[in-house]
Copies of this chain bind each other. A is one copy, B any other.
Amino acid sequence: MTVTDARRVARRDKRRVILDAAAPIFGDEGYERASIDAIATAAGVSKPTIYSYFGGKEQLFRESVADSAVQQNAQVLEVIQRLDLSAQGWLASLRDLAMKLTECQRTPCAVFLARMIAAETARDPEVYRVVRVKAATPILEALAGRLAMLGNAGHLIVPDPALAARQFLALISAEIAELTEHGTRPVSDERVRAAVSAGVDTFLRAHAQASR
């Protein structure tokens, strides 16, 4: 490995350290309240270092959002790909998928993304766009694909898989915000499971085969 390579790796490492420090602070405080000072301290670097790596607060923020979106995407895609399509297993596996997706949504990373989209998209539409490109769309497409497979296999009626995917996500989280008081109250897994299940039930009823 050459000296230059070593430097490039060091750079990448420090980028990672800064991004990992930035996300929870942006997530907890919001864009405005989050101070570069706090991020620098948390990352164990000095402020000018952050400026040299990212250029400014806004850019750091965007990269932080994009980075979280990528992480979120990877996590969720893996979950989706595990859906069992077999005749015996698909139903239980779909319920399981719903729970796993809900867990992913309650990850600090996902909470951060959701908050930033809601809070900062009006100020900077790029925030929404980057999350859509790096997470929302791939996730929806993957989920739509899997639901289509369930349709093809004759387990469900899925005339519009993309729509079904969106509705699936909407239904399984329909009760979550109220249940957790927007993330300000801890809730037992039991109750989360019940809420998610109710969403899956409705989804299944809406897409059931006539015979069922």
> Which residues of A does B touch, CB under 8 Å?
27-33, 114-115, 117-123, 125, 128-129, 132, 136, 160, 163, 166-167, 169-171, 173-175, 178, 181-184, 198-199, 202-203, 205-207
Report yes or no: A123 in contact with B174, Cβ–Cβ below 8 A.
no
Chain B contacts for A169, CB-based, 8 A: 174
Report yes or no: A183 in contact with B122, Cβ–Cβ below 8 A.
yes
* Alpha-carbon separation in the docked complex, A46 to B30 (Å): 28
User: Would A178 and B136 be within 8 Å (CB), given that A167-B199, A202-B206 are in contact?
Assistant: yes
Q: Say which residue of B163, B184, B198 sits within 8 Å of A128 (CB atoms).
A: B184
Q: Say which residue of B32, B175, B205 sits within 8 Å of A206 (CB atoms).
A: B205
Q: Say which residue of B32, B136, B171 sits within 8 Å of A33 (CB atoms).
A: B32
- Looking at the assembled complex, report how far the CB atom of A157 sits from the nearest CB atom of chain B, in whole angstroms: 9
Chain B contacts for A114, CB-based, 8 A: 118
Report yes or no: B129 in contact with A181, Cβ–Cβ below 8 A.
yes
* Alpha-carbon separation in the docked complex, A163 to B175 (Å): 8
Chain B contacts for A125, CB-based, 8 A: 181-182, 184
- Looking at the assembled complex, report how far the CB atom of A142 sits from the nearest CB atom of chain B, in whole angstroms: 15
- The residue of chain B having its C-beta at the shortest distance from the C-beta of A162 within the complex is B175
* Alpha-carbon separation in the docked complex, A123 to B184 (Å): 10
Report yes or no: B121 in contact with A183, Cβ–Cβ below 8 A.
yes
Most buried by B among A114, A128, A198: A128
User: Would A174 and B170 be within 8 Å (CB), given that A118-B118, A205-B206 are in contact?
Assistant: yes
Q: Say which residue of B117, B171, B182 sits within 8 Å of A170 (CB atoms).
A: B171
* Alpha-carbon separation in the docked complex, A122 to B122 (Å): 18
Chain B contacts for A170, CB-based, 8 A: 170-171, 173-174
Chain B contacts for A160, CB-based, 8 A: 198
User: Would A182 and B32 be within 8 Å (CB), given that A163-B175, A206-B205 are in contact?
Assistant: no
Report yes or no: A28 in contact with B174, Cβ–Cβ below 8 A.
no
Report yes or no: B119 in contact with A119, Cβ–Cβ below 8 A.
yes
Most buried by B among A30, A33, A120, A205: A30
Report yes or no: B118 in contact with A181, Cβ–Cβ below 8 A.
no
